[in-house]
Amino acid sequence: MKIGDINRFNNSKKLASYAGLVPREYQSGTREWKGHITKEGNKWIRWILDECLTIHINVCPESPI
């Protein structure tokens, strides 16, 4: 799966939303909660990013992420 032309996203937040990497948000009045990622975006993008992160953690365990 390809993202396509990166310029079709106005900013990085829109790309993160497309990939489903943004936190779920709950609001009630003045209270706001943020939960786990929504998983409503592209599952293949999330999968490959997870694979890359796992490899990075195994190769560079001292690297802050």
- Give pLDDT tens digits for 18-29: 888 888 888 998
Q: Which residues contact 16 (CB under 8 A, 6 or more apart)?
A: 22
Which of helix, strand or coil describes residue 34?
strand
Report the pLDDT value the prediction gives residue 2, as an integer from 0 to 100.
66
Report the pLDDT value the prediction gives residue 22, as an integer from 0 to 100.
84
Report the pLDDT value the prediction gives residue 1, as an integer from 0 to 100.
54
Report the pLDDT value the prediction gives residue 51, as an integer from 0 to 100.
92
Distance CA 45, CA 16 (A): 10
Q: Which residues, given as ranges, of the chain have pLDDT below 70?
A: 1-2, 65
Q: Which long-range contacts (CB under 8 A, 24 or more apart) does 17-23 make?
A: 17/41, 18/42, 18/45, 19/45, 19/46, 19/49, 20/45, 20/46, 21/45, 21/46, 21/49
